């Protein structure tokens, strides 16, 4: 068994054993069932100061270390989810011309991705490449022709213009990656930076069948294309992830500014205030609701609650009468949800690594040698895992 397959098996067993901790959503459940199993942990979480709550919700590794101190069974998890950086080959200096119109953060991601890949000599396919920035950078670095496949005609046209300014051969193919049958092609080197969900899964399955020589891909948005339950590429086992679970794997974002954090807290407190209202007047448990228009959060809580009540078929008059109490209760719930969510958030990277190991297992089973590493620091993008596979 390969090292990745062994890791996958251990992670599978551990995630299954502690499913109640990461599957429960404190936003939806007043008290997740694990609170009864671990009352001391619950009390300690609920008493945490604000700054610690922010830090732990923001830093998956720290949250996992915090949790592992309470739950011995998690001791192995940090090692299973820790992924080492890929070896880097410094890029040649290509000047700034390749990066015209590339936003700073994207430019950093592309440079880091390119430095963590090795040319295979085969022609390149940049899968779901947008304006083809990654393909352009690699074509320049490796002096190879590149084909960029992208569904959006405007991005294809703009990408072609940018490519025309450089001494490279880059072709744009305006195609739907989910229905195209003649790409990828045998012997190609396929690269994909942040092709979402089904798009990266399609690259792998179709690419393996077509005989792609080499893959380098950094997946993202694993939940895209998942209906109810994630269908593992490498075959189903005892652990199954819902769409919400796969979404949890990518909820980690780069730290919000204090203003955005305050706004996010308020939105959550108000939504929770509405949830309490609905539970109270209809006797129902949590029910999901459509996205709330941003403008509704710019009014007062009482107006927000009345608008929500009207939209969800409840009485705005009753909402108006109860708003004073519910606003305070919503904030109280928000404080609790933020604290109890530390547990769920501690598993984000573990779930992401599990999803990536599923892709890696599929590639290994299809005859590829697979390496997994990070290609950049998390602050450049939290979706920093790179799967590199070569046909044996």
Ligand X SMILES: C[S@@+](CC[C@H](N)C(=O)[O-])C[C@H]1O[C@@H](n2cnc3c(N)ncnc32)[C@H](O)[C@@H]1O
| Nearer to ligand X (CB atom), residue 42 or residue 109 | 109
Binding ligand X by CB under 6 A: which of 151, 268, 281, 380? 151
| Nearer to ligand X (CB atom), residue 173 or residue 296 | 173
Q: Is the dihedral of CA 237, 238, 244, 250 positive or negative?
A: negative
CB of 68 vs ligand X, minimal distance in Å: 33
Instruction: Give the binding range for ligand X (CB under 6 A) out of 14-22, 190-198, 245-253, 284-292.
Output: 190-198
Closest CA to 376 of 125, 184, 165, 112: 112
Query: Is position 130 an interface residue for ligand X (rule: CB under 6 A)?
Result: yes
Closest CA to 368 of 204, 224, 251: 204
Query: Is position 176 an interface residue for ligand X (rule: CB under 6 A)?
Result: yes
| Nearer to ligand X (CB atom), residue 54 or residue 210 | 210
Binding ligand X by CB under 6 A: which of 193, 208, 250, 326? 193
Binding ligand X by CB under 6 A: which of 26, 32, 129, 207? 129
Query: Is position 152 an interface residue for ligand X (rule: CB under 6 A)?
Result: yes
Residue 370 forms beta bridges with which residues? 389
CB atoms within 10 A of CB 151: 17
- How far apart CA 253 and CA 380 sit, in angstroms, is 10
Check if the beta carbon of residue 58 is closer than 8 Å to that of residue 64.
Answer: no
| Nearer to ligand X (CB atom), residue 150 or residue 275 | 150
Binding ligand X by CB under 6 A: which of 136, 194, 349, 383? 194
CB of 111 vs ligand X, minimal distance in Å: 12
Sheet strands (E) in the chain: 124-127, 146-150, 170-174, 189-196, 214-220, 368-374, 385-391
| Residues in region 84-113 near ligand X by CB under 6 A | 106
Closest CA to 217 of 123, 101, 129, 130: 129
CB of 126 vs ligand X, minimal distance in Å: 7
| Nearer to ligand X (CB atom), residue 125 or residue 337 | 125
Q: Residue 385 gets which letter from DSSP? A: E
Query: Is position 32 an interface residue for ligand X (rule: CB under 6 A)?
Result: no
Query: Is position 178 an interface residue for ligand X (rule: CB under 6 A)?
Result: yes
- How far apart CA 305 and CA 301 sit, in angstroms, is 6
- How far apart CA 214 and CA 268 sit, in angstroms, is 44
Query: Is position 239 an interface residue for ligand X (rule: CB under 6 A)?
Result: no
- How far apart CA 356 and CA 376 sit, in angstroms, is 16
CB of 240 vs ligand X, minimal distance in Å: 26
| Nearer to ligand X (CB atom), residue 194 or residue 333 | 194
Radius of gyration of the chain from Cα atoms? 23
- How far apart CA 305 and CA 373 sit, in angstroms, is 47
Instruction: Give the binding range for ligand X (CB under 6 A) out of 64-72, 147-155, 232-240, 252-260.
Output: 147-155
Query: Is position 199 an interface residue for ligand X (rule: CB under 6 A)?
Result: yes
| Nearer to ligand X (CB atom), residue 116 or residue 193 | 193
Binding ligand X by CB under 6 A: which of 141, 150, 358, 364? 150
Check if the beta carbon of residue 75 is closer than 8 Å to that of residue 65.
Answer: no
- How far apart CA 255 and CA 232 sit, in angstroms, is 30
Interface residues toward ligand X, by CB under 6 A? 106, 128-130, 133-134, 150-152, 155, 176-178, 193-196, 199
């Amino acid at each position: 068994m390969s090292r990745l397959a062994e890791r996958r098996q251990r992670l599978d067993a551990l995630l299954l054993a502690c499913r109640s901790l990461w599957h429960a959503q404190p936003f939806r459940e007043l008290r997740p069932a694990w609170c009864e199993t671990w009352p001391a942990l619950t009390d300690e979480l609920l008493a945490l100061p604000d700054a610690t709550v922010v830090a732990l919700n923001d830093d998956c590794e720290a949250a996992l270390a915090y949790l592992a101190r309470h739950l011995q069974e998690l001791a192995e998890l940090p090692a299973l989810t820790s992924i080492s950086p890929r070896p880097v080959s410094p890029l040649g200096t290509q000047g700034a011309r390749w990066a015209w119109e590339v936003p700073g953060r994207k430019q950093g991601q592309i440079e880091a991705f390119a430095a963590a890949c090795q040319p295979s000599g085969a022609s390149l396919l940049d899968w779901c490449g947008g304006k083809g920035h990654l393909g352009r950078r690699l074509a320049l670095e490796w002096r190879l022709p590149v084909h960029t496949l992208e569904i959006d005609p405007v991005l294809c046209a703009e990408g072609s213009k940018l490519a025309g300014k450089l001494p490279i051969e880059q072709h744009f193919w305006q195609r739907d990656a989910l229905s195209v049958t003649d790409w990828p092609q045998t012997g190609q080197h396929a690269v994909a930076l942040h092709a979402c969900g089904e798009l990266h899964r399609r690259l792998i399955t179709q690419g393996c069948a077509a005989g792609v020589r080499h893959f380098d891909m950094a997946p993202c948005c694993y939940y895209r294309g998942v209906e109810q339950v994630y269908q593992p590429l490498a075959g189903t086992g005892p652990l199954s992830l819902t769409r919400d679970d796969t979404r949890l794997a990518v909820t980690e974002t780069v730290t919000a500014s204090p203003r955005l954090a305050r706004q996010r807290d308020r939105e959550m407190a108000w939504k929770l205030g509405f949830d309490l209202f609905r539970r109270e007047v209809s006797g129902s448990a949590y029910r999901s609701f459509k996205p709330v228009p941003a403008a509704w959060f710019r009014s007062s809580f009482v107006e927000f609650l009345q608008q929500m009540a009207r939209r969800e078929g409840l009485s705005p008059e009753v909402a108006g009468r109860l708003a004073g109490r519910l606003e305070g209760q919503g904030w109280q719930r928000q404080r609790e949800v933020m604290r109890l969510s530390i547990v769920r958030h501690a598993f984000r990277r573990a779930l992401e690594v599990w999803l990536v190991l599923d892709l890696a297992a599929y590639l290994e089973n299809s005859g590829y040698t697979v390496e997994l590493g990070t290609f950049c620091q998390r602050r450049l993008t939290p979706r920093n895992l790179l799967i590199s596979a070569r046909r044996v």
